[in-house]
A and B are shown apart, each in its own frame.
Chain A
Amino acid sequence: PLAVRTSITSRYETIYRSTTAQEEAALDVATAREADAALRPLQDALLGSLTVYVVPETSPLLPQGISVYVGKHRSALVRIGGGLAALRTRLQQLTQVMSFTASSIATALSDRMPNGQLGSDARRHLKSSLGYEITFSLLNPDPKSHAVDWDIEDAVNRYVQPVLDKLSLVANFSVDSQILYYAVLGVTPRFDKESSSFLLSAHSLPHVINPVEARLGSSAASLYPVLNFLLYVPERSHSPLYIQDKDGAPVSTNAFHSPRWGGIMVYNVEAPASPQASLPLHVDVDMVRVMEVFLAQLRLLFGLSREELPAEFLLESPGNEGLADWELDRLLWAHTVENIATVSTTLTSLAQLLDKIGNIVIKDDVASEVYRAVASAQSAVAKLATGHLLSAFQASKEAVTSSERAFFDPSLLHLLYFPDDQKFAIYIPLFLPMAVPILLSLAKIVREARQRKKEPTKMD
C-alpha cells in the first residue's frame, strides 16, 4: 500500500478596512437583500474571497433576531452587537459556513483517510471530474392508464441550464433525457389502509435502483460519470405511492437519492374525477415541482448541503441559480485539493511501477505528460497557498488530465515487459538442449588447445 503522508495546512487571511462611500450608499437601502444586490458590483469579485460588512446594532437592514445575513454572492452583513469577542465568534461561525472548513477539506481527501475516521456524510460527494453527464428519465410503467407528457426541453432550458451555467467553472455538463415505458420498480409497495395509499418503506429503497439501471443506458462515447434523475409515475393500481422515511412518515418531496448515482422522484397522478374517465389519462407533469426536487438532489450530490446554522443566521436563497457564489467557491476549494491529492497519488504510483519493471519503455508523449502534470501540480499548490482559487483550480485540472493520461496509457501494461520468471520459462527449454553439445565441444576444443601448447615443450 502507498505510504501516505499527507499534511495540509489552511489559513484564513483577514483584512480590515472601512467602507467606501459607494458601499455606504449601497448599504443605505431598506432590506438586506437589496443591499446584497447593490453591493455586488462594488466588490472585486475575486473567487474565493468574502467580504463581510459590520453594521451597527440598530441597523434596520437585518430583521429582528437575526444578527448575521449571508448573501447569495460573496458578501455578508454582521451586526456588531455585544462587543468584539462576540463579533469574533460570529465571524468565525460565518467563515465555517461560507468558506472551506477542516471537515470539507478532509472530505476532499477522503481516499487517504483511514476507514472510519470520516462520518457517513463525508463519503457521498461526487468525485471531481472534468465533466458530468446528466440524464433525465421518465419512467412510465403503465402507459395504458397514463399518457404522460413532460416538457423536459423547456424545463431544462429554464431551470437546469442556469444552474449548470453557474457550475460551468467546475466541469463540463451535458444533459440528455429519455422516456422509458413498462419500466417497473423492482420493489412491490405495501398498501396502507389508513391513508389508502401505497407506501415504499425506507429499507426497500436500496433495492430499487439496480433493476431499473440496466434499462437506463448511457452515452457510449463519453467516459464522464453519469448522474441519473428518474421521474417515476406509478401504475394506476399502485397510485398514490408515497415514500416512507425511517420513522414511517411520508416524505414531503417523495424522492430519494443515491450518492454518486443520482435521484428518483415519485410523481403521483391524481385519480380521475369520475370513475368512467377514458383511459389513458392525459398527464401534464408539473416541471417546476419536479425540477425543484431534482436540483436539490443535484446540490446534495455535489456536496452543497445546508448544514445546521446557528439561530441568528439568515441565509439568502440563491433562487433559480441554484447555488450561491460562496457555495461555488467551497466546491472549487474542495475540488482543487482533491485534484492535487489525486495527482500526487497517481504520479507516485506510476513512479513505483516504473521502478519495479526495469525494462519498461516510456514513450515520449507519456514522459511529456508526466512533466506537464508535475509542473501544473506545483503551480496549483503555489497558487492555492496564495489564495488564487480560480487559477489554482485550473492548474489542478490540467495536472489531473495530464497525470491520468500518463498513468492510463495503454503502453504501460506490465504484462508486456517480461518478468524474470517468464524469461527463464521461455528461453531455457529452447536453448538448453541445443547448448549442451555446443558447450561440450567448446570444452573439448579448449582442452585440445591446451594440450597442443604443452606438447611442443614436452617434445623438446
Chain B
Amino acid sequence: SHIVLMLADDMACNPRNPKPATVFSHKNMELNVYGDDVEVDYRSYEVTVENFLRVLTGRIPPSTPRSKRLLSDDRSNILIYMTGHGGNGFLKFQDSEEITNVELADAFEQMWQKRRYNELLFIIDTCQGASMYERFYSPNIMALASSQVGEDSLSHQPDLGIGVHLMDRYTFYVLEFLEEIHPASQTNMNDLFQVCPKSLCVSTPGHRTDLFQRDPQNVLITDFFGSVRKVEITTEAISLDGDLAGFESKLPKDELATESLKYAEQLPVAQIIHQKPKQKDWHPPGGFILGLWALIIMVFFKTYGIKHMKHIF
C-alpha cells in the first residue's frame, strides 16, 4: 500500500530456487521474507537510477499509476532501505550504472524543499555504506549504514542447497531485531544503532544523526516501521434530519438506447506487421568526430611526411 519496492533481480522466481516464490533469511527456512503481501512495483529493467530518483522527487510521467508513486506529504515519515554492491560514494544499479552520494543528497534536498517528507530514515547495506550518507545536507534525515568507508559488508551464511548466501549480515541482524518489535513497542533508535556490533558483523555499522532535529533517544522505531497512525476519538456527531423527502435521482428514468461501443481501429496492425524496415537516412558524421579525425590525420601526416601515403594506399 504505502511501500514502493524496487527489485532488480527476481530471486523468488529464479529457476534455480528450489522453493519457488520464497526467499528465506536463513537456511533453516523459518522466515519467508517474500511473503504473501509483497508487491514489487519496479522490477528488473525498471530499476534504474533515473526511476529511483523520479520516484523520490516526484518528477514522474503522468501515466504512472498510484502504486508506483511516492505519495507523501509534509507529515509523512519515509524509510528508505537500499542494498546491493557499492563502494566509496556510490551504489551499483543493474551492473551498468551507479547512483552517487551527491545525486542522492540532491534528491533528498529536492524532497525537502517540496516538503515531501517530515522525517526520513535511510538505511544502506553495501560495502563502504557510510560514504553514501556523508553528503546529505537536508534537515530531518537519519542514516544508518552497515560499514564504514574502507570496510566491506559481509554476507551472512550460505545455503548450500541453493548455492548462494541468503542475506547480508547487517540486514540479517536488523531483521532479527525488527521481528521483535510490535506496533505498541517503545524501543527507540539508539537500540537500532546498537544492532550488529563488530563481533557479529565484522564491519562497523555507522549512523548519522546530526541532521535530525529530535534526539534519537526519543524517536520510536515505530515512527518509521509499522505504520502507526495518529488517531483521535470522534466525540460528537452532527445531527441530520433523516425525514427529508427522498432525493430525486438526477439520472433520467428512461434508459437511453446507447450504441454498443467497440474498440476503434487504433493502429493499422496489418500494415505494421508487413512493413519493410524503414531506411534510416544516412547522416554525415557530426562536427566533433570530423574535427577529431581531421586533427589526427593532419598530425600524422605532418609528423611522418606525405611520402608515406603511398605505402598506406
Contact = CB atoms under 8 A, between A and B. Distances in A.
Contacts of B74: 110-111, 127
Interface of B: 1-2, 37, 49-50, 53-54, 57-61, 65-67, 69, 71, 73-75, 100, 102-103, 106-107, 110, 112-115, 138-139, 183-184, 213, 226-242, 244, 246-247, 249, 295-296, 299-300, 302-303
A415 B302 contact: no
A408 B60 contact: yes
Contact of B106 (A251, A265, A409, A414): A414
Given A209-B227, A317-B239, A346-B114, 5 more contacts: A205-B233, A209-B231, A214-B1, A214-B37, A288-B242
Contacts of B230: 124, 206, 258-259
Contact of A258 (B65, B107, B231, B244): B231
B97 to A, nearest CB: 10
A256 B302 contact: no
B53 A442 contact: no
Contacts of A220: 65-67
Interface of B: prevailing SS: loop
Contact of B71 (A223, A251, A299): A223
Contacts of B227: 209-210, 213
B54 to A, nearest CB: 6
Contacts of A255: 233-234, 237
A214 B67 CA distance: 12
Nearest to A123: B75
A363 to B, nearest CB: 13
B222 to A, nearest CB: 9
B240 A293 contact: no
A25 interface: no
B114 A204 contact: no
Nearest to B245: A158
Contact of A349 (B110, B213, B240): B110
A195 interface: no
Contacts of A28: none
A297 B229 contact: no
A260 B75 contact: yes
A292 B86 CA distance: 56
A253 B231 contact: no
A249 B240 CA distance: 25
A190 to B, nearest CB: 14
Given A1-B138, A408-B60, A296 B115 contact: no
B183 to A, nearest CB: 4
B232 A299 contact: no
A319 interface: yes
Contacts of B113: 2, 345, 348-349, 352
A260 B1 CA distance: 16
Contacts of B183: 206-207, 210
Contacts of A414: 53, 103, 106-107, 110
Contacts of B57: 413
Closest 3 pairs (CB-CB, A-B): A349-B113, A288-B242, A210-B227
Contacts of B106: 414
A441 B303 contact: yes
A174 to B, nearest CB: 14
Nearest to A416: B50
The SS class assigned to the A binding surface is helix
Contact of B237 (A1, A123, A292, A319): A292
Contact of B299 (A154, A265, A419, A445): A445
A438 B49 CA distance: 37
A124 B232 contact: yes
B229 A261 contact: yes
Contact of A322 (B60, B238, B244): B238
B42 to A, nearest CB: 16
A318 B227 CA distance: 36
Nearest to B139: A1
6 contacts: A111-B115, A256-B231, A291-B240, A292-B237, A318-B238, A419-B102
A243 B238 CA distance: 19
Q: How large is the interface on A (under 10, 10 to 19, 20 to 34, 35 or more residues)?
A: 35 or more
A32 B234 CA distance: 30
A26 interface: no
Contacts of A421: 100, 102
A295 B73 contact: no
A202 B233 contact: yes
A52 B14 CA distance: 74
B237 A296 contact: yes
A349 B226 CA distance: 32
Contact of B229 (A158, A210, A214): A210
A173 interface: no
A394 to B, nearest CB: 23
A353 interface: yes
A161 interface: yes
A407 interface: yes
Contact of B59 (A115, A209, A213, A410): A410
A292 B1 contact: no
Nearest to A414: B106
A320 interface: yes
A3 B245 CA distance: 56
A153 to B, nearest CB: 9
A81 B139 CA distance: 55
A51 interface: no
Contacts of A316: none
Contacts of A161: 247
Interface in A268-325: 288-289, 291-293, 295-297, 299-300, 306, 317-320, 322
A263 interface: yes
B104 to A, nearest CB: 11
B184 to A, nearest CB: 7
Contacts of A110: 74
Nearest to A352: B113
A203 B184 contact: yes
B231 A205 contact: yes
Given A207-B228, A320-B244, A251 B235 contact: yes
B61 A410 contact: yes
Interface string A380-419: 0000000000000000000000000001111111111001
Given A210-B228, A413-B53, A320 B247 contact: no
Given A245-B233, A410-B60, A415 B239 contact: no
> Which residue among B74, B103, B232 has the maximum number of chain A CB atoms within 10 Å of its CB?
B232
B103 to A, nearest CB: 6
B232 A257 contact: yes
Contacts of A263: 234
Given A206-B229, A353-B110, A444-B303, A410 B237 contact: no
A237 interface: no
